[in-house]
Amino acid sequence: MKKLEERILRDGNVLGENILKVDSFLTHQVDFSLMKEIGQVFAEKFCNAGITKVVTIEASGIAPAIYVADSLNVPMIFAKKSKNITMTEGILTAEVYSFTKQVTSTVSIAEKFLDASDKVLIIDDFLANGQAAKGLVEIIQQAGAQVEAIGIVIEKSFQDGRNLLEEAGQKVVSLARIEKFVDGKVVFGKADA
């Protein structure tokens, strides 16, 4: 997605070896018009796939996921990272190691929001080592639902996430694929949309 790549080049900051900071439009402050276009691009790809739910993980996946869900006209569910006393009914859980926070947490979705008739599109802001997406796949499969694909806004192709997910039989669709960082600059590979 050309507009996304241009925005990353303009406003993204490379931190250290392998982190991209995009807090001015995606992970902290949110550019809703860019999110809307991201939602439309994913919706065009998946409008004939029979998607019934969009699933993401809090917090930074929520902004793009909500626009994808809006464009596909289906509900959006975000997995919660900490147990909440209001989650009194059955919950589905998975252990997820966070790349940016370097801690493992139990993420959960209430059982009642997913069932065997669901066809799910997973959406997340970043793909690094694939742990967040893998946890979401586990939760969706516990519900007996089907994962149609994993839609990623920014993939860092030099990390292992795509391999891990594809080896597990999942389809990954990324709007921007970062091949490498050279002297603090982003170098893109060919994106999926």
Among positions 72-131, residues that touch ligand 5GP (CB under 6 A) are: 99-100, 124-131
Determine the Cα–Cα distance for residues 50 and 57; give it in Å rounded to an integer.
21
Rounded to a whole number of angstroms, the minimum distance from the CB of residue 131 to ligand 5GP is 4
Q: Which of residues 14-43 bind ligand 5GP (CB under 6 A)?
A: 19-21, 27
Residue placing its CB nearer to ligand 5GP in the complex, 35 or 128: 128
Phi-psi region of 89 (alpha: psi -120 to 50; beta: other; left: phi over 0): beta
By beta-carbon proximity to ligand 5GP, the closer residue of 97 and 113 is 97
Bridge partners of residue 152, in order along the sequence: 124, 174
Strand pairing report for 76-79 and 53-57: parallel
d(CA 59, CA 52): 22
CA distance 157 to 144: 30
Instruction: Indicate if the alpha-carbon torsion angle 62, 118, 191, 38 is positive or negative.
Output: negative
Q: Which of residues 148-187 bind ligand 5GP (CB under 6 A)?
A: 161
Give kind and range of the element (H or E) at residue 146: strand 146-156
Residue 8: CB atoms within 10 Å: 20
Site residues, ligand 5GP (CB under 6 A): 19-21, 27, 60-61, 99-100, 124-132, 161
